[in-house]
């Protein structure tokens, strides 16, 4: 019998981790929720979910997680960021000017404009961007294209555009997933994206190993 891969879900006190925990378990992992920086430092794999506001995320980093996460990323600990856990990898966000993300990737998180229009009907698009959308890319795990569940009002704009491995379309293309080294981060919610989400979590567990 093979051991279930261990994965630590980082609890930054931002919203509900239950669906992430359940989805990782269903994908074959043995997830534990951690909230202490020492536990982050010791993790074999990190999953950083997050709903809510960038400022709260930055504050949670300042309460002791900034160094632990930065060091873990530096060591090549596999990291899966979801939504705010993706935003937090960047330097700053329009959502909370002055608040500092991890700065692992250069770039900003910017507001989805309510001036975006549907490319077919011309209708003004709603914000938050909420619901199922297609993510496509040139490489795994997005080379097949697939539908994922989104709910967000801000998007990441990496300075290095080659980081973007999955994009989606909402009145223009936006960055739906980034990947670099042992870091994978997505704007959508794999834990709410049924079969596709399940496949993405399995992909992370299978292909992302500690360096």
Please pick, from the candidates 6, 18, 62, 67, the single residue that binds other proteins as defined by CB under 8 A.
Answer: 18
Residue 33 binds other proteins, judged by CB under 8 A: no
Query: How far is the C-alpha of 11 from the C-alpha of 32, rounded, in Å?
Result: 10
SS3 assignment, position 28: coil
Q: At 88, list the tokens.
A: 């937090």
Say which residues have a Cβ less than 8 Å from residue 100's Cβ, sequence separation at least 6: 58, 61, 91, 92
* Other beta carbons within 10 Å of 56: 18
Residue 130 binds other proteins, judged by CB under 8 A: yes
Residue 64 binds other proteins, judged by CB under 8 A: no
Residue 128 binds other proteins, judged by CB under 8 A: yes
Residue 149 binds other proteins, judged by CB under 8 A: yes
Q: 157: left (phi > 0), else alpha (psi -120 to 50), else beta?
A: beta
Please pick, from the candidates 79, 146, 154, 164, the single residue that binds other proteins as defined by CB under 8 A.
Answer: 146
* Widest distance between CA atoms in the chain: 55
Annotated catalytic residues are 83, 189, 191
CB of 150 to other proteins, least distance (A): 8
CB of 38 to other proteins, least distance (A): 25
Please pick, from the candidates 114, 159, 209, 210, the single residue that binds other proteins as defined by CB under 8 A.
Answer: 114
Query: How far is the C-alpha of 112 from the C-alpha of 130, rounded, in Å?
Result: 12
Residue 13 binds other proteins, judged by CB under 8 A: no
Cα-based distances in Å from 14 to 51, 61, 120:
6, 12, 36
Please pick, from the candidates 33, 41, 53, 110, the single residue that binds other proteins as defined by CB under 8 A.
Answer: 53
Binding site for other proteins (CB under 8 A): 15-16, 18-19, 22, 51-53, 114, 118-120, 123-134, 140-141, 144, 146-147, 149-153, 169-170, 189, 192-204, 206-207
């Amino acid at each position: 019998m093979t051991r279930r891969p261990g994965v630590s879900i980082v609890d930054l006190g931002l919203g509900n981790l239950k669906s992430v925990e359940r989805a990782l378990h269903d994908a074959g992992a043995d997830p534990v929720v951690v909230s202490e920086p020492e536990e982050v430092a010791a993790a074999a794999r990190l999953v950083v979910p997050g709903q809510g506001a960038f400022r709260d995320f930055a504050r949670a980093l300042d309460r002791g997680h900034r160094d632990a996460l930065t060091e873990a990323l530096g060591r090549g600990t596999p990291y899966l960021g979801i939504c705010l856990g993706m935003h937090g990898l960047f330097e700053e966000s329009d959502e909370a000017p002055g608040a500092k993300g991890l700065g692992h990737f250069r770039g900003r998180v910017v507001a989805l404009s309510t001036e975006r229009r549907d490319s077919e009907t011309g209708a003004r698009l709603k914000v938050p961007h909420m619901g199922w959308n297609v993510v496509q890319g040139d490489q795994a795990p997005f080379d097949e294209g697939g539908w994922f569940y989104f709910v967000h009002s801000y998007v990441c704009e990496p300075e290095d555009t080659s980081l973007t491995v999955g994009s989606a379309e909402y009145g223009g293309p936006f960055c739906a997933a980034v990947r670099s080294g042992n870091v994978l981060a997505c704007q959508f919610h794999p834990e709410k994206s049924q079969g596709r989400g399940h496949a993405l979590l399995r992909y992370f567990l299978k292909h992302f190993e500690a360096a």
